[in-house]
Amino acid sequence: MKNPEKTTSHVTVFGIPNCDTVKKARTWLAGQALEVAFHDFKKQGVPVDLLPGWLAAVGWEALVNHKGTTWRKLDEATRLAVVDDASATALMLANPSVIKRPVVVWGDGSVSVGFSAEAFAGRV
């Protein structure tokens, strides 16, 4: 049951449509009677204006997917150079697939990364 104090009227999901975790998140959200928009990193790019807010909300360590294929394919020098918001931002803009997905901006402006039905349920 939804908590009326936490109900969000609009949610934006950022990611890549063929990502399994993004698919799970979108499917779960579709069943919650929320207005959900999708931002495709591949087609629309990384929203440069939103990155500082995401970094402030969750930190670069949460945004950079250190377990993904894109990260593993980077040379060691590139991986070692990612040490702060600025270097992580440069990497994410150059390689959007390195961003852990989905990034969700909730109706109240809060940001989450990744998908967990339990965590999402606590927000709606």
Spell out the domain ranges in the chain. Answer: 10-121
Among 40, 32, 26, smallest CA distance to 8 is for 32
The closest alpha carbon to 103, from 25, 18, 2, 20, belongs to 25
- Confidence band, pLDDT 50/70/90 cuts, at residue 5: very low
Mean pLDDT score, 109-118? 96
Q: Give the CATH number of domain 10-121.
A: 3.40.30.10
Confidence grade of residue 8 (pLDDT, cut at 50, 70, 90): very low
The candidate with the shortest Cα–Cα distance to 34, out of 21, 25, 46, 22, is 25
Write down the pLDDT at residue 124: 81
pLDDT tens for 92-112 read 999 999 999 999 999 999 999
- Active-site residues: which are they? 19
**46, two tokens:** 């990384």
pTM of the model: 0.88
Q: What is the pLDDT of residues 25-65, one digit of tens each?
A: 999 999 998 889 999 999 999 999 999 999 999 999 999 99
CB-CB contact of 11 with 107 (8 Å)? yes
pLDDT for position 9 = 62
Q: Do residues 96 and 46 make contact, with C-beta atoms less than 8 angstroms apart? A: yes
Percent of the chain surpassing pLDDT 70: 93
